[in-house]
Amino acid sequence: MAQLYERTPEAVERPTPRQRALTQDDVTEPRFENEFWNSKEPGVYVDVVSGEPLFASVHKFDSYTGGPSFTIPLRAGQHRRAHRHQPWNGRTRRQPPRPSFPDGPVDAGGMRYCINSASLRFIAAKDLETEGHGQYAHLFDAAPGPAASGGGVA
């Protein structure tokens, strides 16, 4: 059975005030002043509120935009849910922005998916099993090289 990832009012209250502003109030982080823009550690990035797996470091690349950019989402259809509205605390709030642009690396499909660092929680490849995301561990089993060491050209 597939895991259901929900953005409940309780889940929305867990993040820090900065994370809440970025995930619930359409605030955007300053370029090059965020946690993951230049991160190269192998692992998976999950939604800070719901825990939904979003991106893998093997699909991360340096887009020179000052924020984390990826060539594909981890799960099919995520890009279509980028601006899905959900009720929250009596109001409607947007999901964290996951905009996509057709200016990504051509050899990786040509798309660029970007997201605010503070709307992500990083799970290192070595911790995927214990964090409940072991199904993505195979992405990091490759021989040493760019994809196995953090992905792409990031």
Q: How far apart are the first and last CA of the chain?
A: 34
Spell out the domains of the chain, with CATH numbers in brackets: 9-131 (2.170.150.20)
pLDDT of residue 77: 61
Decide the pairing of beta strands 120-124 and 43-47. Answer: antiparallel
Question: Which tokens sit at 98?
Answer: 């996951």
Q: Dihedral (C-alpha) 145, 154, 133, 18: value to the nearest 10 degrees? A: 160
Q: Which residues are catalytic, by number?
A: 114
- Please indicate whether residue 84 or residue 53 has the higher confidence score (pLDDT): 53
DSSP the chain: -PPP----HHHHHSS-HHHHHHHHS---PPTT-STTTT----EEEEETTT--EEEEGGGEE--SSSS-EESS-SSTTGGGGTT-EEEETTEEEEPPP--EES-S-GGGTS-EEE--GGGEEEEEGGGTTTTT-GGGGGGG-SPSSTTTTT-TT-
Q: Are 31 and 45 in contact (CB under 8 A)?
A: no
Residue 78 pLDDT class (50, 70, 90 cuts): low
State percent of the chain over pLDDT 90. Answer: 48
pLDDT of residue 15: 81
Residue 147 pLDDT > 70: no
Residue 125 pLDDT > 80: yes
Most confident range, picked from 83-87, 91-95, 107-111: 107-111
Q: What is the pTM of this model?
A: 0.76
